[in-house]
Chain A
């Protein structure tokens, strides 16, 4: 990969605060190259999902971005008018959500929900959008597309719904997909299939993915690069293979030590080492103080 390739997503020292002034993202920088899978790993509350939402422009209204830039294929999202930004995000990105139960509108049939966006954002004809959706449903191994597109969401199983959402995400050929813990809400057996499916479609379509997860096992399977997040701060980033071979940051090491192992199913679950967390907390407090001085 040459260095001149424009990154698909480039986040530069992004900080966001809550109304009470607490920082939820602390100068986050990360980039995703075209066609690359970048895992974003951390505990719950670490700000993984927040980064995904920031990229897609759907942060909760209470969270305010106070500094930093986000570039989507070289275009600075912060400089665009809201409408142009929506259109750009709608055309070039997609979301594979965490919970397939709530990600589909319960009162609308699957088919129109899937074609909606192709027609609206890309301006396709209904016919063309429908053909495209068929093709994608086939790719996610749904055998009876007729029944599925005519169904309401509650008539499909969780795994089926997640397949539908994956198909919908890839349908518009986005350059970047944010996958927000796409397997967390599913059965363990279904998780594996869905993960394999995402990996396969990612390879075939060459889509870059920002893969949000708390599962290091998933990270190892699917990603090329990893950013480890703690309290809204990137504590380590590395090639996936390197990270697992030689984690540099004490927090990364502690996180790996806390991962349950299948080789010893009877070992009790270990929390992340407290000494490490105390060190991190001090580090973050110091950084916040330094950050506040120029920012008032």
Chain B
């Protein structure tokens, strides 16, 4: 009982720190037009490469400075969060739905279903993920939905593998046998008895996957294969920052820090949620 308390508190700080950052970023993304101090697309050559607020030469209203075209960095980061979160949620959910369903089927039914699904996963995972994504976007054409589809198509295998293994472990438990004796059908048992026991893992993975989706989207933006419009993306800002690293380090550093914090928060949030809601760990 005491041990359980300790682990709960241990996950508490993680949960609130990670959740807090994600909530902040999410709110900023949703209310971007209200939150952003400037128009993220407005160029002003008078104000190019302004440093962040604590350095000399900074201008009020441009808190994190400006890039080489004089666009406000903070506003661009806030609007970039929109794309990051849309991609994170949509791509991770799609990957989760496909991967978890196949993983559950492979793990629970075993036999041929498992063999076929597992071989597909093996082949899939042999593709280098980033190149695969670039290839997919090249085929699908750039744009938000292409990025989402590409990430889901690549990353469902992560869910499939983990959920398959978890399901296999659960399916061996005696309570599954008991449910069969009590007259439940195979599919009924899979959904009623096994699925609730793998949900904590699904949630943790889902959160982790959101972070990964943010990274992949940033990579695609970095190589200019993400969305084709002028809307700012974190990866795009980093790419621009790379070019002016010697004159304006902040254009590279702030989006990187934002990206790292967000990805880290997603993974930590998922783990903390799992620790809190898994009845066995709890």
CB neighbours of A103 from chain B (8 A):
173-175, 178
Interface residues of A in 105-124 (CB under 8 A from B): 105-108, 113, 116-117, 120-121
Interface check B55, CB cutoff 8 A: no
Instruction: Name which residue of chain A comes closest to B182, CB basis.
Output: A117
Interface check B39, CB cutoff 8 A: no
In Å, the complex CA distance between A154 and B282 comes to 9
In Å, the complex CA distance between A113 and B189 comes to 13
Interface check B177, CB cutoff 8 A: yes
The answer, among B110, B181, B197, for a CB contact under 8 Å with A106, is B197
- Interface pair A104/B175, CB less than 8 Å apart: yes
In Å, the complex CA distance between A93 and B177 comes to 13
Contact string against B for A residues 91-105, beta-carbon threshold 8 Å, 1 for contact and 0 otherwise: 001110111001111
- Interface pair A86/B183, CB less than 8 Å apart: yes
Known: A103-B175, A107-B197. A58 touches B181 (CB 8 A): yes
Closest CB in chain B relative to A217 CB, distance in Å = 24
Closest CB in chain A relative to B191 CB, distance in Å = 13
Contact string against A for B residues 174-210, beta-carbon threshold 8 Å, 1 for contact and 0 otherwise: 1101111111100000000100110100000000000
CB neighbours of A98 from chain B (8 A):
174
CB neighbours of A17 from chain B (8 A):
none
CB neighbours of B280 from chain A (8 A):
106, 154
Closest CB in chain A relative to B181 CB, distance in Å = 5
Counting chain A CB atoms within 10 Å of each CB, the highest count among B111, B175, B181, B183 belongs to B181
Interface check A90, CB cutoff 8 A: yes
Instruction: Name which residue of chain A comes closest to B280, CB basis.
Output: A106
Closest CB in chain A relative to B259 CB, distance in Å = 35
- Interface pair A102/B181, CB less than 8 Å apart: no
Contact string against A for B residues 271-282, beta-carbon threshold 8 Å, 1 for contact and 0 otherwise: 000000001101
Interface residues of A in 32-67 (CB under 8 A from B): 53, 56-58, 61
Known: A61-B110, A99-B174, A154-B280. A105 touches B181 (CB 8 A): no
Interface residues on B, range: 20 to 34
Interface residues of A in 2-41 (CB under 8 A from B): none
In Å, the complex CA distance between A164 and B4 comes to 23
In Å, the complex CA distance between A116 and B180 comes to 12
Interface residues on A, range: 20 to 34
Known: A103-B175, A105-B175, A107-B196. A93 touches B279 (CB 8 A): no
- Interface pair A105/B183, CB less than 8 Å apart: no
- Interface pair B110/A57, CB less than 8 Å apart: no
In Å, the complex CA distance between A108 and B195 comes to 11
- Interface pair A102/B180, CB less than 8 Å apart: no
Instruction: Name which residue of chain B comes closest to A103, CB basis.
Output: B174
The answer, among B110, B174, B196, B199, for a CB contact under 8 Å with A102, is B174
CB neighbours of A94 from chain B (8 A):
181
Instruction: Name which residue of chain B comes closest to A180, CB basis.
Output: B174
Interface residues of A in 178-217 (CB under 8 A from B): none
Known: A58-B177, A102-B174. A116 touches B182 (CB 8 A): yes
CB neighbours of B184 from chain A (8 A):
120
The answer, among A53, A61, A113, A152, for a CB contact under 8 Å with B279, is A152
Instruction: Name which residue of chain A comes closest to B196, CB basis.
Output: A107
Counting chain B CB atoms within 10 Å of each CB, the highest count among A57, A93, A104, A107 belongs to A107
Interface check A87, CB cutoff 8 A: yes
- Interface pair B181/A154, CB less than 8 Å apart: no
In Å, the complex CA distance between A103 and B170 comes to 11
In Å, the complex CA distance between A89 and B179 comes to 12
- Interface pair B197/A105, CB less than 8 Å apart: yes
In Å, the complex CA distance between A116 and B182 comes to 8
In Å, the complex CA distance between A56 and B183 comes to 11
Closest CB in chain B relative to A55 CB, distance in Å = 10
- Interface pair B173/A57, CB less than 8 Å apart: no
What are 29 inter-chain pairs, A to B, with CB distance below 8 A? Answer: A56-B177, A57-B181, A58-B181, A61-B110, A61-B111, A89-B181, A89-B183, A90-B182, A93-B181, A94-B181, A95-B178, A95-B181, A98-B174, A102-B173, A102-B175, A103-B175, A104-B175, A105-B175, A105-B193, A105-B197, A106-B197, A106-B279, A106-B280, A113-B175, A117-B183, A120-B184, A152-B279, A154-B280, A154-B282
Given A56-B181, A61-B110, 15 other A-B contacts at CB below 8 A? A58-B180, A61-B111, A86-B183, A87-B183, A90-B181, A90-B183, A93-B181, A102-B175, A103-B174, A103-B175, A104-B175, A105-B179, A105-B196, A105-B197, A120-B183
What are the 9 tightest A-B residue pairs by CB atom distance, in nearest-first order?
A90-B183, A103-B174, A117-B182, A107-B196, A102-B173, A105-B175, A102-B174, A97-B174, A152-B279
A residues whose Cβ falls under 8 Å from a Cβ of B: 53, 56-58, 61, 86-87, 89-90, 93-95, 97-99, 102-108, 113, 116-117, 120-121, 152, 154
